[in-house]
Each structure stands twice: as C-alpha cells, then as structure tokens.
Amino acid sequence: MTEQTAEITPGQFAGMDPAAAGQQLNDKIGLKLVELTPDRVVGTIPVEGNLQPYGLLHGGANATVAEALGSVLAALNAGPERAAMGLELSCTHHRAVRSGTVTGVATPLHVGRGTITSEIVLTDDEGRRTCTARLTCVVRDRPPGA
C-alpha cells in the first residue's frame, strides 16, 4: 500500500470544533490516516515515541488508534448531519511490538441509526495481528446551529 495522508475536514463531521483542530491526540501519537471511506478507514502510527517503560508499544496507543479509526468510520457512516461518539471500546493485545510501524484497519460490523460498531485490526510491519479492537459509537442528530 502506498501511503498517502488522507485529511479530515470540519465539514465532514457534525459538530467538529475548529478550535480543537490543533489539539488532536491523533497528532501527538503520529497517526496518519491513509484511507477514508465508509467501508474502511486505515491509519498508521510509528512505534517510536509511543512506548511504555518496557520498550514495547503502549497498549494505550493501540486503544487510541482503535478509537480514532473506529470513530472516523462511524462519523463517515453517520453522515454530515449526525454526530458519532465513542460509547464502548474493547481491545485485545495479541503481540508486543518494539519498533517499526503499526497499521490499523477499521471496518463496520453494524451500521444502524442509533449505533455503529466497528472492528479494528492492528498489525505490525510483517502483517502479524498485534491487537483486535471493537468500538461502538452512539449516533445522535446534530444539534441545531452546530
């Protein structure tokens, strides 16, 4: 896969606060979105800079990637007039990663009017599954004027 950064614009998601644009956790962990469709959201993070004290990729980094990719997927499926917000996140860490890049792929498991659930699979540079996550987002109508 050729890596090209995909960009999220405020108009894509209901209620996105332009003032928060420069304060995104995604930027802090080095998340790069490389594919954005309602059927698949792909992103990568470097392992370097996202380690826990034992020199392994931090489980919280896995959770952050999963939440970010699953939330984007839910927002794309909810549409511009509705807002999707994380409700429940579950992560199973299968394999430690010490270096390189981790790639996450989010795909929808359920797209409903009130909830959207996605599966997020994270893999290392060798394509080995390192984490499996499931995120459920609640979907609400966009508030008037937002």
Give the ranges where the chain is alpha helix by DSSP (H). Answer: 25-29, 59-78
pTM of the model: 0.87
Res 19 pLDDT > 90:
no
Where does residue 1 rank: exposed (0-12), middle (13-18), buried (19+ CB within 10 A)? Answer: exposed
Give 23's pLDDT tier (boundaries 50, 70, 90).
Answer: confident
Report the C-alpha gap between 42 and 68 in whole angstroms.
10
Q: What is the pLDDT of residues 116-137, one digit of tens each?
A: 999 999 999 999 999 999 999 9
Res 22 pLDDT > 90:
no
Nearest to 97 by CA among 63, 140, 52: 52
Residues 69-98 have a mean pLDDT of 96
**What is the rounded average pLDDT for all residues in the chain?**
90
Catalytic residue among 48, 67, 88, 126: 67
Residues 17-28 have a mean pLDDT of 80
The pLDDT, as a whole number, for residue 101 is 98
The pLDDT, as a whole number, for residue 1 is 43
Is residue 7 among the annotated active site residues? no
Domain range summary for the chain, segments of one domain joined by +: 27-140
Residues 91-102 have a mean pLDDT of 98
The pLDDT, as a whole number, for residue 144 is 67
Give 12's pLDDT tier (boundaries 50, 70, 90).
Answer: low
Fold classification of 27-140 is: Thiol Ester Dehydrase; Chain A (3.10.129)
Report the C-alpha gap between 26 and 119 in whole angstroms.
19
